[in-house]
Amino acid sequence: MTDTLHVVVTGASSGIGAATIRALTTEGVHVTATARRSDRLADLAKETGCVTVVADITSDKDVAALVKAATKAGPVHALVNCAGGALGLEAVSESALAEWSSQYELNVVGTVRVTQAFLPALRESGRGDIVFITSTAGHDPYEGGAGYVAAKAAEVALVRTLRLELTGSGVRVIEIAPGMVHTEEFTLNRFRGDQARADEVYKGIDPLMAEDVADAIAWAIHRPHHVNVDLMILRPREQAGPSKTVRYMTVGD
């Protein structure tokens, strides 16, 4: 374990988190994967050989158990904060306050909880990395997305502040902010299980895939440790921003 990079990945049961685990384990990295769904984690462990810990990042008890399990296996060199999500696409005037709260609790407070818990181990490892998967939503607002935009903007503020606080500590703070990414659950969850509405989001464009973001994460982690990737923004070629997406026409449109 002392000669092998050990990375903890949250939000591991699907999407970018699962793709990141596949990318890292293929490269020989030892990965501790964590998420809430034990069945998904079991399948991922069988596929990749990663170690799994069932945990909810909104729970102090779960996160403490996660840290104990991960550090028992040896030094932890990197934490990849993938856990997050969006709910709804309503205007501010019509949005549900409970969804604002749950998005903030998951994307911001949960991320802080895990980051705080692993910081001592990352410092002790001798080459600590904290990778935050934020979103272009945290940099550019869009209509109907205020709850998610606000949560991701807060996460971006967290990243920038933490980088200032950790400069000189030997721990890198890396932000990767994807635009439109087609995963199996993100938009489906946002639209509360409405598959047709979720599919419409990706119509007429070649979106990023989870593997594209995972590739960027692996690349950033593997840079020489004196190199810090402060911010990497990834978007589909035809998406210049939240208000500028060019879609191609298909037969029957």
By the 10 Å C-beta count (0-12 exposed, 13-18 middle, 19+ buried), 196 is classed as: exposed
175-191 pLDDT, tens digit per residue, is 999 999 999 889 888 98
Q: What is the mean pLDDT of residues 193-208?
A: 91
Amino acid of residue 3: D
pLDDT: is 193 or 23 the higher one?
A: 23
pLDDT recorded at residue 88? 93
95-118 pLDDT, tens digit per residue, is 999 999 999 999 999 999 999 999
Q: What ranges in the chain are assigned the alpha helix state H? A: 15-26, 38-48, 60-72, 97-104, 110-125, 146-166, 186-190, 195-201, 210-221
43-56 pLDDT, tens digit per residue, is 999 999 999 999 99
Where exactly are the structural domains of the chain?
6-240
Whether 251 has a pLDDT exceeding 80, the answer reads no
Q: What is the mean pLDDT of residues 84-90?
A: 94
Window from 49-63, 73-87, 165-179, 184-198 with minimum mean pLDDT? 184-198
The pLDDT confidence band at residue 242, using thresholds 50, 70 and 90, is confident
**Domain 6-240 is classified in which CATH homologous superfamily?**
NAD(P)-binding Rossmann-like Domain (3.40.50.720)
Which structure tokens are listed for 69?
């399990």
**Which residue in 104, 148, 202, 248 is the catalytic one?**
148
Which structure tokens are listed for 139?
């940099």
pLDDT recorded at residue 1? 40
The verdict on whether 148 is a catalytic residue reads yes
Q: What is the mean pLDDT of residues 124-131?
A: 95
By the 10 Å C-beta count (0-12 exposed, 13-18 middle, 19+ buried), 206 is classed as: middle
The pLDDT confidence band at residue 252, using thresholds 50, 70 and 90, is low
- Residue-averaged pLDDT of the chain: 94
Whether 2 has a pLDDT exceeding 60, the answer reads no
Whether 19 has a pLDDT exceeding 80, the answer reads yes
The pLDDT confidence band at residue 209, using thresholds 50, 70 and 90, is very high
pLDDT recorded at residue 184? 86
Q: What is the mean pLDDT of residues 68-86?
A: 96
pLDDT recorded at residue 250? 59
